[in-house]
């Protein structure tokens, strides 16, 4: 079984990708299911095979513990740990080859508290990978692009799992904009030039320093442009995941 966690900042397109990539993989003949781990997702753009909301719902947690939306979501995310064994059992009943896992809207609650890493740990011996979404609408700005590199690196260090970056909602950008962002991924000098010409003051210094640190880590972060609307980039994303998880073979033999 191959578990693929989809992470990204709030609104970056995690849920849409979970739904659209599940359908797309089905069309490729893959035995795939989707799992929702966001206790706050009152509506979803897909029907998950397994959902944490059968066990933990943010609105009930808020009411029971008299918490606001953020406190409620924080506690609800922590509570996933208590039900992860049951969720895992439910997943196993499907005997899938690929499991796409949608994660909570607030990335930091999943990735930077204990929750995410402990969940990944609890899911045992399965092969695992992460898709990190760079939200393309924000990534037109080099400062935001570097911020995303920084978060992607932090996730990499935190989870220590193979990771693929994707530039979500690519249909919202022009071809030139996508090419520019792809260039930043391939050649740090192009990113540096964009930082220099488009940013000034603290933004410029911050971006440059962060970029230097990230580059020193030596991580491959070049995001693959994808769209859940047009399915652009899905073949590329698929082949990257297969390369990482199954040495390029199809998941379902
Ligand atoms: N044009 C376009 N819009 C997209 C795409 N993917 C997501 N969106 C839109 O972006 C918004 C956020 O998408 P979601 O999939 O809910 O993002 P998310 O990361 O799950 O959001 P939260 O869980 O609330 O943090 C929605 O309005 C989507 O319709 C895409 O590929 N293209
Ligand atoms: Mg979502």
Q: For the segment 120-163, what is each residue's pLDDT rounded down to a tens digit?
A: 888 877 899 999 999 999 999 999 999 999 999 999 988 989 99
The confidence band for 245, taking pLDDT boundaries of 50, 70 and 90, is very high
The confidence band for 180, taking pLDDT boundaries of 50, 70 and 90, is very high
The confidence band for 109, taking pLDDT boundaries of 50, 70 and 90, is confident
DSSP element (H, E) containing 209: helix 201-217
Average pLDDT (34-52) is 97
The single residue listed with the structure tokens 């895992």 is: 88
Average pLDDT (20-42) is 97
Ligand 2 centroid to residue 134 C-alpha, Å? 14
Report the share of the chain in percent with pLDDT over 70.
100
Q: What are phi and psi of 112, to 5 degrees?
A: -110, -5
210-224 confidence digits (pLDDT tens) = 888 888 888 888 999
Ligand 1 centroid to residue 172 C-alpha, Å? 12
SS3 content of the chain, % helix, strand, coil (to 5): 55, 15, 30
- What is the reported pLDDT for 246? 94
CB contact set of 193 (below 8 Å; sequence gap of 6+): none
Total-model pTM: 0.95
Terminal C-alpha separation, the chain = 12
- Which structural domains are found in the chain, ordered by start? 2-246 (3.40.50.300)
DSSP summary character for residue 135: E
Ligand 2 centroid to residue 18 C-alpha, Å? 9
Average pLDDT (205-234) is 91
- What is the reported pLDDT for 124? 74
- What is the reported pLDDT for 217? 85
Residue 222 CA to residue 179 CA, distance in Å, equals 12
Residue 94 CA to residue 88 CA, distance in Å, equals 10
DSSP element (H, E) containing 150: helix 142-159
Please give the residue that has the higher pLDDT: either 99 or 206: 99
For a pocket test of ligand 1, which of 9, 11, 171 has the largest count of ligand atoms closer than 8 A to its C-beta?
Answer: 11
Does the pLDDT of residue 237 top 80, yes or no? Answer: yes
Ligand 2 centroid to residue 249 C-alpha, Å? 29
What Å distances lie between residue 95 and 89, 110, 120, CA to CA?
A: 10, 26, 18
DSSP E strand boundaries for 24-148: 32-36, 50-51, 98-102, 127-135
- What is the reported pLDDT for 99? 97
Residue 233 CA to residue 196 CA, distance in Å, equals 30
Cβ neighbourhood burial of 140 (10 Å; 0-12, 13-18, 19+)? middle
Residues with CB under 5 A from ligand 2 (ion): 14-15
User: What is the rounded average pLDDT for all residues in the chain?
Assistant: 94
Cβ neighbourhood burial of 42 (10 Å; 0-12, 13-18, 19+)? exposed
Short-list 101, 105, 39, CA closest to 72: 39
């Amino acid at each position: 079984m191959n578990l693929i966690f989809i992470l990204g900042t709030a609104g970056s397109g995690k849920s849409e990708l979970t739904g659209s990539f599940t359908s797309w993989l089905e069309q490729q003949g893959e035995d795939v299911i989707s799992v929702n781990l966001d206790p706050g997702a009152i509506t979803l753009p897909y029907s998950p095979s397994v959902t944490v909301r059968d066990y933990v719902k943010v609105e009930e947690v808020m009411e029971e513990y008299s918490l606001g939306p953020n406190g409620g979501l924080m506690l609800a995310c922590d509570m996933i740990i208590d039900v992860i064994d049951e969720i895992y059992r439910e997943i196993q009943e499907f005997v899938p080859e690929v499991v796409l896992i949608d994660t909570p809207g607030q990335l930091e609650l999943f990735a930077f508290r204990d929750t995410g890493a402990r969940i990944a740990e609890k899911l045992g011996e399965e092969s695992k990978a992460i898709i990190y979404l760079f939200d393309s609408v924000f990534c037109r700005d080099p400062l935001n692009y570097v911020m995303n590199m920084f978060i992607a690196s932090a996730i990499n260090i935190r989870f220590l799992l193979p990771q693929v970056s994707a530039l979500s909602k690519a249909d919202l950008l022009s071809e030139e904009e996508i090419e520019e962002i792809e260039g930043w991924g391939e050649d740090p000098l192009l990113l540096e030039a964009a930082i220099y010409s488009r940013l000034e003051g603290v933004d410029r210094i911050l971006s440059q320093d962060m970029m230097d640190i990230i580059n020193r880590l030596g991580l491959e972060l070049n995001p693959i442009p994808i769209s859940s609307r047009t399915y652009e980039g899905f073949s590329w994303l698929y082949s990257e995941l297969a390369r990482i998880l199954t040495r390029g073979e199809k998941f379902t033999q």
